[in-house]
């Protein structure tokens, strides 16, 4: 599925091919929550990094979080003008890029279930809305974005 996205002010626009476009994976970790999670969580999609095309790329800024005193190689791209979170790229998995669902302008498909991850890190004011088919994890889930899409036969 081709996804088109942008920051709020329009300075940065992008498009990318996403074999895994269902916005099902809600992350409550402090990193996602503080950098992109208006509802106390953030949602990342799975896309093909080689297909990423960016208009206004020179305007993007990158944040690398420090974990246990070490700088993470993961690059959180955002707009320095309006502060919109755009996508995460990690050179350890160079074929992937993870756009934030909040930055996507294309209508996304409705997931049949959701995965709530890093619930052990959620803020105390957050009350997750967990559906009857949803999965929950205090840390990382037991399946990847690709595996989730395959299990539910959502890969075309």
Q: Is residue 29 part of a domain?
A: yes
Q: Residue 22: which domain range?
A: 2-151
Q: Is residue 73 part of a domain?
A: yes
Our count of domains for the chain comes to 1
pTM tops 0.85, yes or no: yes
Q: What tens digit of pLDDT does each residue of 97-151 get?
A: 999 999 999 999 999 999 999 999 999 999 999 999 999 999 999 999 999 999 9
Which candidate, 12, 11, 15, places its Cα nearest to that of 3?
15
36 SS3 class: helix
∠ Cα 147 1 77 (to 5°):
80
CATH number of the domain where residue 114 is located: 2.170.150.70
Tokens of residue 42, six digits: 């953030």
Q: Is residue 65 part of a domain?
A: yes
Q: Is residue 92 part of a domain?
A: yes
Q: Is residue 103 part of a domain?
A: yes
Q: Is residue 156 part of a domain?
A: no
Q: What tens digit of pLDDT does each residue of 26-65 get?
A: 999 999 888 987 788 999 999 999 999 999 999 999 999 9
Q: Is residue 112 part of a domain?
A: yes
Q: Is residue 131 part of a domain?
A: yes
């Amino acid at each position: 599925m081709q996804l088109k996205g942008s920051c709020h002010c329009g300075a940065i626009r992008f498009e990318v091919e996403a074999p895994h476009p269902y916005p099902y994976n809600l992350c409550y970790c402090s990193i996602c929550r503080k950098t992109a999670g208006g509802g106390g969580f953030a949602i990342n999609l799975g896309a093909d990094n080689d297909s990423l095309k960016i208009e206004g790329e020179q305007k993007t800024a990158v944040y690398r979080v420090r974990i246990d005193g070490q700088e993470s190689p993961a690059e959180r791209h955002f707009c320095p003008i309006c502060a919109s979170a755009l996508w995460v790229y990690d050179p350890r998995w160079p074929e992937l890029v993870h756009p934030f669902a909040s930055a996507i302008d294309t209508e996304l498909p409705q997931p049949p279930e959701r995965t709530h991850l890093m619930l052990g890190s959620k803020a105390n004011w957050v009350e997750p809305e967990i559906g009857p088919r949803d999965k929950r994890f205090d840390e990382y889930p037991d399946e990847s974005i690709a595996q989730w899409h395959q299990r539910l036969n959502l890969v075309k």
